[in-house]
Amino acid sequence: MAELQKTRSEVNNAFKLSGFTMRREASIFVAEQLVALSQQERKKMIDKLIAHLLHQCLSQPVLEKQHLEVAYRECSSSGLEETETVLNIIDAFNIPKLIYDNERKRFSKDVNAVNHLYPEPKWKAQFLIDRYTIIWQ
């Protein structure tokens, strides 16, 4: 019990130094997960959790238990899961054609375009015009 309290205060202090405020149930959850680890591993895991939470777009600096559950799951998973895709190969004819829209000043997908192995000659000129327009802005 004393070890859990010590771990909980260590977790609270580390998160406060990073600008986060933890709810009681969130700090208890993290302390229960980290109490079995050694001091060095505990410090590394706290740093990983803080780094993961800093990269999330949290609306408030107050951390709920669900935020820390997701962060702990992400940090503790090592390697790839069986269902995770590492490399996705697509056919060259399935790549969408993009057209630069001057009014919106962004690219939009051309739904009428048909992919051919050798495009028409006008597309080379259009490609150069689009490239120049982007650079000119």
Give every CB contact of residue 69 below 8 A, 6+ residues apart in sequence. 29
Quote the percentage of the chain above a pLDDT of 90. 9
- Tracing tokens 């969130």 back to the chain, one arrives at 26
Residue 105 Rama label (left phi>0; alpha psi -120 to 50; beta): left
Q: Calculate the alpha carbon distances from 73 to 13, 64, 66, 117 in Å.
A: 21, 15, 11, 46
Q: How far apart are the first and last CA of the chain?
A: 64
Tell me the residue length of the chain.
Answer: 137
* DSSP-derived 3-state class of residue 21: strand
Pairwise CA distance, residues 30 & 73, whole Å = 11
Beta strands (DSSP E) in the chain are: 21-22, 62-63, 98-101, 106-109
Query: Which two structure tokens, joined as six digits, stand for 56?
Result: 């999330």
Q: What is the pLDDT of residue 25?
A: 92
Checking if the pLDDT of 136 tops 70, the result is yes
User: Residues 41-90: pLDDT tens digits?
Assistant: 999 999 989 888 888 877 888 888 888 898 888 887 766 667 777 788 88
**Mean pLDDT value across the chain:** 84
Q: What is the pLDDT of residue 81?
A: 66
Can you tell me the mean pLDDT for 112-137? Answer: 81
User: Residues 12-28: pLDDT tens digits?
Assistant: 999 899 888 889 999 99
- pTM score > 0.75 for this model? no
User: Residues 35-53: pLDDT tens digits?
Assistant: 888 899 999 999 989 888 8
Structural domains of the chain, ranges and CATH numbers in brackets: 2-76 (1.10.8.60), 92-136 (no CATH)
Pairwise CA distance, residues 124 & 50, whole Å = 49
